[in-house]
Structure 1
Amino acid sequence: MKTKSVLEFADVKTIADAAVAEALKHQWAVTIAIVDDGGHLLSLQRLDGAAALSSHIAPAKAHTAALARRESKVYEDIINGGRTAFLTAPCIEGMLEGGVPIIKDGQCIGAVGVSGVKSPEDAQIARAGIAAIGL
């Protein structure tokens, strides 16, 4: 049997705080979602000025990244590459860049999803949050 790390409340708070700081530094109005390895929502923060729809998109991106154990951008690229049948994949809704898995010791322990600005900027915010816990 293997031992696997899990996100604790302090980790989630650190990730969220760093992601919010990155967004505010650039004056980006976004929603930031953090999920566990099963895609279950642990934190959701909608910053001032973020579109209401972003509060649905960010968790979907995070959910996709956690379950797939890879960035949600992978699926956006697959679809943009012409494999539109992938849109029917079960349990995957957030197939846009901005969902980033949290990987520790080769295991996915959660993910961060961001929505509200350009997709590469969403991913930048997610990565900044994850970097705050040293991953």
Structure 2
Amino acid sequence: MNITEAQAEKVLKAAISKAKAIKVPMNIAIMDEGANLKLFYRMDGALLGSADIAIKKAKTSRLFEMNSEKLGELSQPGESLFNVEHSNGGLISFAGGLVLKNKNDTIIGSIGVSGGTVAKDFEVANAGSQALLNNKYNL
């Protein structure tokens, strides 16, 4: 199952809405089930360096089927995935990347957000993720 264009746009609209509400310009990347970039949006004023980070957060979440910060916990010295962030062309192991699931709890893609603090990035990514489960952003 793959994220559709309509679903990706719904996720993007919710993430943009949250970023505007908290007044932080963000880079927002949405990937499909195969970790291919589906949509990318850079808000006016979003940090240029954060564009790559947003894409890598989305990629990290999709490839490892977990939130990016969870991978961070597992990649610490002494943990089972120590140094994994150096694989796959570079991964991001802090918050802001989440898998996207449909109403059947099936992974259909991922979202990565960067431009604010790690907590703000997570907040915006989570708003996008939750949009798939409610009807607020119907197209």
Class of the TM-score when normalised by the shorter of the 2 chains: 0.7 to 0.9
Percent sequence identity over matched residues?
27
Q: Is the 8 A contact 2:67 2:99 kept in 1?
A: yes
Residues 108 and 43 of structure 1, relative CA distance in 2, 3 Å threshold:
same
2:104 aligned with 1:108, yes or no?
no
Once superposed, what is the RMSD of the aligned Cα atoms? 1.8
Tell me how many residue pairs correspond in the alignment.
Answer: 131
Quote the Cα distance in structure 2 between the aligned partners of 1:29 and 1:59. Answer: 16
Unmatched 5+ stretches in structure 2: 135-139
Residues 130 and 88 of structure 1, relative CA distance in 2, 3 Å threshold:
closer
Quote the Cα distance in structure 1 between the aligned partners of 2:132 and 2:101. Answer: 11
Quote the Cα distance in structure 1 between the aligned partners of 2:47 and 2:76. Answer: 25
Unmatched 5+ stretches in structure 1: none
Q: 1:86 offset after TM fit, Å? A: 3.1
Aligned to 2:54: 58
Return the match for 2:84 from 49, 74, 86: 86
Q: Is the 8 A contact 2:85 2:92 kept in 1?
A: no
Aligned to 2:93: 95
Any residues of structure 2 matched to 1:1-135 within 5 Å, and which?
5-80=1-76, 83=79, 84-90=82-88, 92-104=90-102, 105-134=104-133
TM-score (norm 2): 0.84
